[in-house]
Structure 1
Amino acid sequence: MIKFIKKISFPLFALLLIVSCENSDYLEGPEFSKAALFSPIGGITNEDNSSPFFQINDFVSISDVSIGVLSREWTIEKENFFLKTFQEKDTINLEAFIDETKTTVSTEQDLFMLFKKVGQNVVNYRGVFKDSTAFQALDGSPGRTAIPAVKEGDIWVLSVDFNYTVIDSIKPEVTISNADGSNVLGALGINQFPSRNNTTAFPVIEIEAGTVLKFTDNTTVGFLEGTDANGDPNTSRVWNFEGAAPEKSTELIQDVAFNRTGEYIFDITINRAQRGRTLPFSKRNKVIPYIIKVVPSTQPFVLQESPYAIDDEDNSKGTKIINIDVNGELEPFSGVESKFALSVVDRNGNPINVSVSAAEVDLKNPSKIKLTLDAAIFNTDVVTLSYDGNTTQGSSDITAVDGRPFAIFTNETVTPLVTNFLTSDVNPSFEQGVVNETNANAANYDFTTPSGNSFRNNPAPDNGLILNRTDEQKSDGDFSMRFRGEMPLQGGFMSLVSSEVSNLGIPAGDYKLLMDIFIKDDGSVFNGVFMGFQGAAGGFYFDFGNPTPGTWVTIEQEITFSNELNRDIVINFRNNDNSGVTGIQTFYIDNIKLENFEIR
């Protein structure tokens, strides 16, 4: 009988067929045949009808405990090996138990097989019985049909294939390239086994501080596709970029910034999840065999973009925070507030006295200077910022971690903090479509006309909708709203209603309405539309002005909401606003915005 069956975490083995057994040591059994094969891993396939997964150099065991079997043969792939009987303590070095007396066929009752072939593996059982029989997996898996024996003369022959998917050991592969990926600077191959204890042969990649390199995980050997039952990937990774930014990552491709001088060696760990009962959790760590040597940058330490205002999370108007993004990592500094100077002028041209009360490195981003002001700036103010600190090497007021002094700047315009209340849910650029002419084929809009009037042109030059979502022209995204109708309109007007706005809870206050328009260059003319803000403000005429046909222009209008906007925004196309306009007119609307407008 079996001396050893592979230990598993489940308490019950799976009986692949029916009970009882026969062995040459036993008395002759009854005059009938029942095929029964016994294995700790279950049936021919997993419950999802996939073959069981094994790791390379693992083994499988199956025992033939059939009744009435006259002879048997196990046939394995030529790359795999039969094993002799062994004890559990011997499973670390299974190759020592390879049965050299067998090739690919065995007639033993018990099968022990060592997997050496990656990919799909088949073990064939051929049993000869004196009576009719069939093989049926009795492991509770649905949808499995019995495999009948086939009569050959006076005997019955049963042939069963056991299928296994064998996964190779994890062998990480990595490439290092420049920021845009166009130039590969180094690679970790599957046959490299570098060590942090011996780095003398590691090539050096020398870069300047502030450089970004791209690290790509190219691992395929030992990689298991797909996700587990929880939706997590079967194979994942952890990058260790200690000293760089970020210091850790799980991304397949990671851009890494090097801001601090020094020499760095990194590593990657590939994790493969457990799969079923037979493929255990596995991980492999490898050092990336390169030294990244970061030297001081030859570039000046300067602003990356204009300073900009951010939300100070105070519910009152304006903000007291300005951020400055720089092209390197900052050393901590203090006492430099007086080196920054602000000029603030309100919308009426009046100067406002505002100064910097605190300056520091941003806690979340060491490449950002955070300025706190002693008074709020409004988004209708014109704000400029200057810096006039000491720039002497070695004694500068603000310094990069690689020693570069921060350069002075003068009268940089501060980008104001503006909030657009018309979020993507409102569909302000008509990107979300529906197939319904009563919605003008745009999600979250309704197309209305006076009672008894058609949505279509009458007479219609192309029998199309007067208002329709289209990709003919666009200023933002891929779509816009087209008006194509014969003026004057029947019934005097039609409306496009944005109903989703009512869910936003836009508070009372001052706002600026902006809209992009495009008048078709075919003689079309349109003076403007009438805007309605239900529940918040009275309507107003939105004048298009005299835009150049054939080009997108942005029009804007200031408006005050006396109450919360808790109903719809309505765009009305009216004859009254377009006196004297006749014939077919075509224009497009896109990128509607409602921005907060802070007035002192």
Structure 2
Amino acid sequence: MKNVLKFLFLIVSIFITSCNSDDYETPPAFTDLFITMSSGNNEIRDSEVNQFFSFSDVSAGALVTRWTIPENSFFLEGPIPNNLPNHDNYIKEPITNVSNDKTVSIMFKKGNSDTRIEYYGEFADSTSYIYNIYDLDLNQSMEDTIATVNINGKWVAEHEFSIDVYDTVVAKPEIRYLNETIIDYENTTAITLNVGEQIIFEDLSNFVVDNNARPNTTTWRVVTNEEDEDDRVTILSNTLNRAGDFEKKIIDTITFNQVGDYKIELLARRIRTETLRESNDTFIIPTVINVTP
């Protein structure tokens, strides 16, 4: 009988120990904070409207991961192709601005040169992570550090990543007589010039309110005024470049030396880079320029 009782006691002890082992979470043996980004080691982190940027928390010993994104941005779920004009079909449902996923891909719907992505992590021990950023104000490379702080017994890391998100280019011209009188092309059907007279053209595409697309080339085209656009002939084309100076005004004075009826086209373009696609927009000024002898 004693042997039977000892055997039963042993079984119960094993059962209790087994239950306790399942319920007990062993603290990570190693803690190391590490974040990867789709920009890789590039110090300049940028994206554009309708495209996405990815973060991955590949830390060792991370107990909690949380990402918070701003308005006009969405979490995506994949696999996500890279060669699409936009990624609306990959927006994660239900829509929220918070995710606990280790890896997140974020699509932007509004340009903002200081788009902030908030990271929050909890760890079993203190740790830190150093990565390089490019300070546009100082025009130099710098180091930024994410370090944990002990809050109520938890090692907490909080950080905001800044992404430069570019808007889509919007072409916006202004035309003036030589005396600086602005021509209201939206309400002016036609103007008449004599052969040899000039008009001032200014590209305001880089100064559109609430748009940070930053087009860097301007092309003015003078075309004949056929009703069908495919039949129009370009008689003058001039391309100017901002050469990285996005505050530079692009002003051109065009001389009309041929008799005829003409329209003016403005092509504003941001050239393709390693991280950004080309963005361009064409505006056809509706005012007809009638050049007489």
Is TM (by shorter chain) over 0.5?
yes
Q: Which amino acid aligns with 1:129?
A: F
Cα contact 1:74–1:123 (8 A) shared by 2:
yes
Q: Which residue of 2 aligns with 1:122?
A: 116
Q: Which residue of 1 aligns with 2:76?
A: 83
Q: Which residue of 2 aligns with 1:236?
A: 217
Q: Which residue of 1 aligns with 2:284?
A: 287
In the superposition, relative to structure 1, how do residues 131 and 28 fare at CA in structure 2: closer, same or farther (>3 Å)? Answer: same
Q: Which residue of 2 aligns with 1:402?
A: none
In the superposition, relative to structure 1, how do residues 285 and 279 fare at CA in structure 2: closer, same or farther (>3 Å)? Answer: same
Cα contact 1:246–1:256 (8 A) shared by 2:
no
In the TM superposition, residue 241 of structure 1 has moved relative to its aligned partner by 2.2
2:87 matched to 1:94?
yes
Q: Which residue of 1 aligns with 2:66?
A: 73
The number of aligned residues is 243
In the TM superposition, residue 94 of structure 1 has moved relative to its aligned partner by 0.6
Larger Rg: 1
Query: 2: CA distance between counterparts of 1:90 and 1:166?
Result: 18
Alignment match of 2:199 (pick from 213, 232, 235): 213
* Alpha-carbon displacement from aligned partner over 1:300-324 (angstroms, at most 9, x marks no partner): xxxxxxxxxxxxxxxxxxxxxxxxx
Query: 2: CA distance between counterparts of 1:279 and 1:41?
Result: 11
Query: 2: CA distance between counterparts of 1:179 and 1:245?
Result: 23
Cα contact 1:185–1:205 (8 A) shared by 2:
no
Q: Which residue of 1 aligns with 2:268?
A: 270
In the TM superposition, residue 290 of structure 1 has moved relative to its aligned partner by 2.4
Task: Provide the identity percentage.
Answer: 26
Which structure is richer in relative contact order (CA contacts within 8 A, separation 6 or more)? 2
Query: 1: CA distance between counterparts of 2:108 and 2:278?
Result: 18
In the TM superposition, residue 266 of structure 1 has moved relative to its aligned partner by 2.2
In the TM superposition, residue 117 of structure 1 has moved relative to its aligned partner by 2.5
3-state SS of paired residue (1:121): strand
Cα contact 1:235–1:271 (8 A) shared by 2:
yes
* Alpha-carbon displacement from aligned partner over 1:453-494 (angstroms, at most 9, x marks no partner): xxxxxxxxxxxxxxxxxxxxxxxxxxxxxxxxxxxxxxxxxx
Query: 2: CA distance between counterparts of 1:64 and 1:265?
Result: 54
3-state SS of paired residue (1:137): strand
Q: Which amino acid aligns with 2:289?
A: I
Normalised by the length of structure 1, the TM-score is 0.37
Q: Which residue of 1 aligns with 2:148?
A: 149
Q: Which amino acid aligns with 2:163?
A: Y
RMSD over aligned CA atoms reads: 3.2
Structure 1 gaps of 5+ residues are 1-26, 188-200, 226-233, 297-600
Higher helix share: 2
Q: Which residue of 1 aligns with 2:31?
A: 33
3-state SS of paired residue (2:117): strand
3-state SS of paired residue (2:104): strand
Q: Which residue of 2 aligns with 1:250?
A: 239
* Alpha-carbon displacement from aligned partner over 1:109-164 (angstroms, at most 9, x marks no partner): 1111111232120001101111111122279x964143210111222111121101
Q: Which residue of 2 aligns with 1:103?
A: 96
Higher strand share: 2
Matches within 5 A, 1:402-441: none
Q: Which amino acid aligns with 1:235?
A: N
In the superposition, relative to structure 1, how do residues 32 and 154 fare at CA in structure 2: closer, same or farther (>3 Å)? Answer: farther
Structure 2 gaps of 5+ residues are 1-24, 134-139, 225-232, 241-249
Normalised by the length of structure 2, the TM-score is 0.72
